[in-house]
Structures are given as C-alpha cells and as structure tokens.
Amino acid sequence: MLDAVLPASVSLPIALLLVAVSFFTSALTAAFGLGGGVAMLGALASTVPAGVIVAVHAIVQIGSNIGRAIVQRAHVLWPVTARFTIGSLIGIGIGALSLVTIPERALLALLGAFILLMAWIPKPNIPGLDKAGVILGGAISAIATMFVGATGPLTNAILKALGADRKQIVATQAMCMTIQHILKAIAFGFIGFSFADWLPLVIAMIASGFLGTLFGTRLLDRMSEATFSLILKWMLTLVALDLLRRAAGITF
C-alpha cells in the first residue's frame, strides 16, 4: 500500500532510509547551521534519478529550514535576511532564465574559494560592505543553488564574517535558506518540473526533519560560543576543500 504513494523510481526501503536521513541531517543543521543540506543532497544523489535531485532537494529543504526558522525565530537577523532575499531574487532570476551559463566546475571552484575566504580572512572595515556583501552573497548563492543544490555553507560563511553569534548564524541561515529554496521551487515549477508524485515522500521527510530540528536545537543551546565558532570554522573549511576537490575533478 505504501508503495502506491511513492514515486515509481523509489522503493519502500529507500524511502524509509531517506526519512531517517532527514532526521539526522536536520539535527546537524539545527546544531551547526550547515552540513545537513549537503548530506541530504548526497543521499538523494545516491537514491533518486539525477534529473529530480535538485528540485526534490529544494522542497525537502524548505520544510527543514522553515521548521528551524520557527523554532529559532527569536534569533533571526531580519535586516540581513531582507538584503539576502534581494540578492536571491536577482540570482534565482538569472539562474532560471539561463542568462548566464557557468560551467559547474568553475562554479564549484568559486564557491570553495569564497567560503575559505569568509572563514579565514579578516573582513576589511569598508563602509557599506556588510550590506552590499550580503546582497551579493545572496545573488551568488541563488545562482549556484540552481546548479548544485546545497549552498547553505556560503550563507554561513557570510554570517560568520558579519560577526553574528552562534544562535543568530543558525536562525538567520534557516530563514535565508527557506526563502531561497521557496524561490528555487517556484522557478523549477515554471521550468516545468512536477512535484506531485514526490509530495507524500517529501512530507514524511519534512516531518522527520522537524523532529531532528528539535533535537539539534537542544544541542545548540548547550554549546558554548567558542566551541561553536571553532567547529563551524573547520566545517566550513572541509566543505570548501571538498568543493575545490570536485572543481579539480579529483575523485576517490
């Protein structure tokens, strides 16, 4: 009976695996603000057809991020979110209309280098850089998300460079990613992707992900600012190095 509500390309064991993965990836993101979206993208890449990975990932991430944004809403930096949304609107429009064609490996290299810079290089004290940088970051990540799916680490790197604390980073990233994934899903709808066949599975993954969010938020509350900052810095570094590895065509 359950097989009847699943997409034809997804078996029941795979569906149950994806629901379980959604719990753990949401918990990871709720605690550190990144890692979950990338891990979920990897899980989808291993289990669903290539042509639907980014679109389905967008819907799952809407549920995961909006749950985190609601739970952690008291810490959202709304002016930053507004500027990021402006940039995302520009970037999604560019990506959806294919006004610019960027080779995937070049895009991965750009993202990897940018995340490393945000994680390790002190931010110069230039008037207005914070506002312009967030808008530019929103645009770059929105273009990238249409091609590679998970760009949460880029948003975290921007927020870290702004000097936000651990709860502000995680909560604001959740709201920014919610808005960006909604825009992306709308763009895929206009392009012609049909989400109907995937909705039952996606709903189950979102429900499981919300439970993971509650678990991860409790872990975040118990973590010190210094511990969070150190872990985030090295997680960003590992993600950036992996992006550069993929850009260089190195496989394991």
pLDDT score of 119 more than 90:
no
pLDDT score of 211 more than 90:
yes
pLDDT, tens digit, for every residue of 86-96?
998 888 887 76
CB 31 within 8 A of CB 145: no
% the chain with pLDDT above 90: 12
Residue 123 has a pLDDT of: 58
As a whole number, mean pLDDT of residues 114-137 equals 69
Residue 83 has a pLDDT of: 92
The least confident of 23-27, 62-66, 161-165 is: 161-165
Residue 3 has a pLDDT of: 62
Residue 99 has a pLDDT of: 46
Rounded to the nearest integer, the mean pLDDT of the chain is 80
Q: Which has the closest alpha carbon to 29: 174, 238, 145?
A: 174
pLDDT score of 126 more than 50:
no
As a whole number, mean pLDDT of residues 39-46 equals 75
pLDDT, tens digit, for every residue of 173-207?
899 989 888 888 888 777 777 777 788 888 899 99
From CA 35, how far away is CA 27, in angstroms rounded?
10
Task: Name the more confident of 217 and 228.
Answer: 217
pLDDT score of 158 more than 60:
yes
pLDDT, tens digit, for every residue of 64-87?
889 889 998 999 999 999 999 999
Got the DSSP string for the chain? Answer: -GGGGS-TT--HHHHHHHHHHHHHHHHHHHHHSSSHHHHHHHHHHHHS-GGGHHHHHHHHHHHHHHHHHHHTGGG--HHHHHHHHHHHHHHHHHHHHT-S---HHHHHHHHHHHHHHHHHSPPP--TTHHHHHHHHHHHHHHHHHHHHS--HHHHHHHHHHTT--HHHHHHHHHHHHHHHHHHHHHHHHHHT---GGGHHHHHHHHHHHHHHHHHHHHHHHHS-HHHHHHHHHHHHHHHHHHHHHHHTT---
Q: Where are the domains of the chain?
A: 2-247
pLDDT band at 120; cut points 50, 70, 90: confident
